[in-house]
Amino acid sequence: MMTSASRIAAGIGLLAVAALPLAVHTFFADAEKYYLHLLIQILLWAFIYTGWSLMGRFGLTSLGHGAFTGIGAYVTVLLWNYAGLTPWLGMPVSIALAVVVGLLVGYPCFRLRITGHYFALLTLALTEFIRLSIIGLRDYTGGSLGTQPRRYDGGLSLYAFQFEPNRVLAFYIVFALWLLGIYIWLRVDRSMDRYALDAASQDEDAARSVGVDVMREKLKVTALSAGMCALGGAVFGQYQMYINTDTIAGLGLSLNIVFAVIAGGIGVALGPTVGAVFTQVLAEGLRVAIQGSATMKAWFGSSALAIDQGLYGLLLILFIIYMPKGILGTGIDWWRRWRGRAAHRPAQDQAVTANRAA
């Protein structure tokens, strides 16, 4: 599938990402922590977005992933705080729980063929249910004030999976996580399941009639997607050392996930990552711009933080109307057209088909 040239390119790209802490250390030595934090945020959210896009690309537009990230973060932290269970066991438990919830909601949805906006609104109800349950259990979860994992060994401990003070370590942890996400995405992309799910999303009856077990395929991808988002949520909690329902559970988060993936590009491996870079840099860039400018501060005051949300909204509208394939998807299209003009198109298409078959 991969030509040797693209293998080399991927290798160089990976090395470049892995070397980012070094670059930050060299060029931004005075604000190293901040830039590392930005990179960590990007990679961590890229992982969560990638998890969502596993379902999203097959037309399973879920607004329920804010529930899965919430389960991942809260179950891990609560097990640590109240049962003394190390996150190394707590995270698998939280992932298992998220997968079970995903399957419990997914099975009837797929059985009854609830799709499109019915599916989106039903999963939205799941998000709200989980968010309200978290707030309702305020004796343990701190309600809407949020909670934090009990610090252990100065916040830097293998046993407690706490690593926030060491940003370089944190970077490599989320880097590994991100790699895992891309690996899973590529594995799904190259599996038979992907063709089955593509077929099912186009015409479920036709897919069924040629022997695709649609239910099984959809449940598989739901379990994978929910589990990834739970893991992402759990790591988020361990890194931030503070979680609340606004940052890691709820409708706003669910919509954010969808927006970032659409902005980046839903059908490409690095689309969610590009979406994460785009949204994080947009938010941080605006924050820095406003903090640095006395005029902007005076104009917008305390509500300045709403600017990035407003721009998100505006861009989401523009993306869906004018660029539904997202930044990376559209970029790849341009690149292909540009190359297609240079080379002979039919020959190239044949090569692509041959590669697919191989």
Which residue, 156 or 296, has its beta carbon nearer to other proteins? Answer: 296
310 lies in the binding site for other proteins (CB under 8 A) = yes
DSSP H helices, 84-190, are 87-111, 116-136, 138-141, 167-189
Count CB-CB contacts under 10 A for residue 345.
Answer: 13
Q: Does 267 bind other proteins (CB under 8 A)?
A: no
> Using CB under 8 A, which of the segments 36-44, 76-84, 132-140, 288-296 binds other proteins?
132-140
Residue 137 CB, nearest distance to other proteins (Å)? 9
Please state the φ and ψ torsions of residue 147, each to the nearest 5 degrees: -150, 170
Q: Which range touches other proteins (CB under 8 A), out of 75-83, 172-180, 248-256, 336-344?
A: 248-256
162 bridge partner residues: 157
Q: Tell whether residue 22 is a contact of other proteins (CB under 8 A).
A: no
Single residue of 129, 152, 172, 195 touching other proteins by CB under 8 A: 129
**Residue whose CB is less far from other proteins, 5 or 112:** 112
CB of residue 55 to other proteins, shortest distance in Å: 12
Residues 183-242 that bind other proteins (CB under 8 A): none
Q: Are 233 and 128 in contact (CB under 8 A)?
A: no
Q: Does 262 bind other proteins (CB under 8 A)?
A: yes
133 binds other proteins (CB under 8 A): yes
Q: Which two tokens stand for residue 220?
A: 């598989």
Q: What angle do CA 218, 253, 98 make, to 5 degrees?
A: 45
When binding is defined by CB under 8 A, the residue of 11, 13, 84, 136 that contacts other proteins is 136
Which residue number, 32 or 308, has a Cβ lying nearer to other proteins? 308
Biggest CA pair distance of the chain: 67
Tell me the C-alpha distance between 272 and 258, whole Å: 10
Check the CA dihedral 148-152-154-155 and report its sign. Answer: negative
Angle at 168 between CA 165 and CA 170, to 5 degrees: 65
Using CB under 8 A, which of 252, 267, 296, 330 touches other proteins?
Answer: 252
Q: Which stretch binds other proteins (CB under 8 A): 19-27, 279-287, 303-311, 325-333?
A: 303-311
Interface positions, 69-128, toward other proteins (CB under 8 A): 105, 108-109, 112-114, 116-118, 120-122, 124-126, 128
Position 132 contacts other proteins (CB under 8 A): yes
Residues 6+ away with beta carbon under 8 Å from 292: none
Minimum distance, C-beta of residue 282 to other proteins, in the bound complex (Å) = 13
Pick one of 312, 326, 327, 329: the residue that binds other proteins (CB under 8 A). Answer: 312
Under rule CB under 8 A, residue 35 binds other proteins:
no
**Can you tell me the distance from the alpha carbon of 235 to that of 180, in angstroms, rounded to the nearest whole number?**
13
HSE-CB for 191 with a 13 A CA cutoff: 14
Cα gap 341→344, rounded to integer Å:
7
| 151 interacts with other proteins by CB under 8 A | no
In degrees, rounded to 5, the angle at the alpha carbon of residue 213 between the alpha carbons of residues 125 and 101 is 25
Query: How many residues are there in the chain?
Result: 358
Q: Kindly state the smallest distance separating residue 161's Cβ from other proteins, in Å.
A: 30
Residue at token pair 């897919």: 207
11 near other proteins (CB under 8 A) = no
Asked if 258 and 246 touch (Cβ cutoff 8 Å), the reply is no
Binding of other proteins by 330 (CB under 8 A): no
Query: By the criterion CB under 8 A, which residues form the site for other proteins?
Result: 59, 61, 105, 108-109, 112-114, 116-118, 120-122, 124-126, 128-129, 132-133, 135-136, 251-252, 255, 258-259, 262, 300-304, 306-317, 320-321, 324
